[in-house]
Amino acid sequence: MVNAGEKTGTVRDTYAPKGKRTTWSWPGKAAALILGTALLLTACGQGEGGTAGASDASAKPAGTVQSAGDTAEASGSETPEALYEQAKKEGKVIVYSTSGRANDAAETFMKQYPGIKVEVSKVKSDEMMDKVTKEQDAGQFNPDVIITKEVSGAVEEEMVKPGRYVKYLPEDLAEKVDEPYRTQAEGYANYLEFRTIFYNTEHYKSAPVTNWWDLTTPEFKGKVYTADPLSSPAFMDLFTTMVIHSDDMAAAYKEKFGKDIELHGTENAGYEFIQQLFDNGLVVLKGSDDVLDAIGKANSDAVGLAVSGDVSKVEEKGWSILPIYDIKPKTSVPDSGYLFLANKTPHPAGAKLFIRWMMGEKDGQGEGMTPFNEVGSWVPRSDVKTKNEVAFEDLNLWVFDGEKLYFEAPKVRDFWIKQK
């Protein structure tokens, strides 16, 4: 405004080339800076609370939040009847879910328990963390039920431990629940799937891969596909787990090649595996569906890394594929669909009732479980019959160690990026 000193307000020099006057164009930036600093000062006054990112807020509210969590967890003893009475008064349940299965469960729930309306918001797991953190920091407690996948341990570290997501397991159902989901894991998972190798059933009569190291042999040069772990962290979690359990990987190497593994400038057998995979011409595609399209649409001798749950889409998509459920040293690491109560849920009874419904109620026969008990996914309840040929107990999986993954994952990601 300072140099607006042309004669009249309507700036007149429209025709005349003003030449050097434009040297002023950059001071605009300076003005922005000044304005910026001023704003920054005013803003520091009104709220220190973390604004960008999620993070720093987690330290503060932890104390108060934790106690709320404790009460919620402790009260896993209500009967469904009592919950229903209470829930009818509350009127509705708000669900944030990463999975569309919640919508299916909500529909049957509303039939079973008239008078309660379930509203489902679909959000990706990482965005949900930001959303809930921001909401709760601003004093808004919107969701009741959280259905989410892990993001390399971040859900446990940033949401569960600070008490934003609260573990809930009804007492009468707990004994039927398989470990680690009964006591060890961060919460109860209503289903789990995992990343594994798929092959084309027209080309191969039986599984062409029995050991992860098979993928590094000349036989599979340029014939291994994976969804991009840089954009889907769940894929990175598998590789990170291999790094964490590099001893297993080294042992499997010895079993396959009959000699000790030789590291080529890498830290351990896990990293070595990633590097050799790249050296063998690993092809990275955008998503899991792209991988299965690549190997399953036409006869193909290639194999690909995709989500076990995708087998349920086989008919729809016209893929000729099968997943491999037994690979050495371990097939994979579980990717669990956790059920949580949200901190300070506005409709606690309805929330608990809905979680019970999705768990299949006491006898594990409830209709609410149907969407979760599919081929390619497992329900970790001893009294629920799986649709897969392999039972959950017999799956040869690494344990998902949230805390270790959380701290190891960025390093493995860096290593991955550097391979490019």
Write out the binding residues for another protein, residues 16-45 only, by CB under 8 A.
16-22, 24-29, 31-32, 35-36, 39-40, 43
Q: Judge contact between 336 and 149, C-beta under 8 A.
A: yes
d(CA 135, CA 218): 52
**CA–CA distances in Å: residue 259 to residues 116, 254, 266:** 63, 5, 18
Interacting residue with another protein among 66, 130, 203, 257 (CB under 8 A): 130
User: Which of these segments, 134-142, 177-185, 188-196, 326-334, binds another protein (CB under 8 A)?
Assistant: 134-142
Site string for another protein, 317-336 (x = CB under 8 A): xx------------------
Q: Which of 82, 230, 390, 391 touches another protein by CB under 8 A?
A: 230
Chain-centroid distance of CA 373 in Å reads 19
d(CA 236, CA 153): 12
Q: Which helix (H) or strand (E) holds 34?
A: helix 27-46
* Residue 13 within binding range of another protein, rule CB under 8 A: yes
Q: Which residues contact 234 (CB under 8 A, 6 or more apart)?
A: 149, 150, 195, 307, 335
Residues 200-219 that bind another protein (CB under 8 A): none
Q: Distance (Å, rounded) from C-alpha 297 to C-alpha 280?
A: 23
Q: Which amino acid is at 201?
A: T
Residue closer to another protein, measured from CB, 250 or 355: 355
**Closer to another protein at the Cβ: 127 or 260?**
127
Judged by CB under 8 A, which of 68, 137, 260, 328 binds another protein? 137
> Shortest approach of another protein to residue 239 CB, angstroms?
12
- Number of helical H runs and strand E runs in the chain: 14, 10
**Rg (Cα) of the chain, in Å, rounded?**
26
C-beta neighbour count of 202 within 10 angstroms = 12
Name the residue nearer to another protein (CB basis): 255 or 264. 264
- Residue 390 as a binder of another protein (CB under 8 A): the answer is no
Residue 352 belongs to what H/E stretch?
helix 348-359
Residue 283 interacting with another protein (CB under 8 A): yes
Cα(304)–Cα(294) distance, integer angstroms? 8
Task: Choose, by CB under 8 A, the member of 1, 184, 205, 265 that binds another protein.
Answer: 1
Hey, what are 40's tokens?
């920054």
Nearest residue (CB) to another protein, 259 versus 418: 418
State the nearest-atom distance from the C-beta of 90 to another protein, in Å: 15
Q: Within positions 40 to 79, which residues make up the interface with another protein, using CB under 8 A?
A: 40, 43, 46, 49-56, 58-59
Considering only residues 345 through 364, tell me which ones interact with another protein, judged by CB under 8 A.
none
- From candidates 67, 71, 75, 140, binder to another protein by CB under 8 A: 140
Residues 91-110 that bind another protein (CB under 8 A): 94, 99-100, 103-104
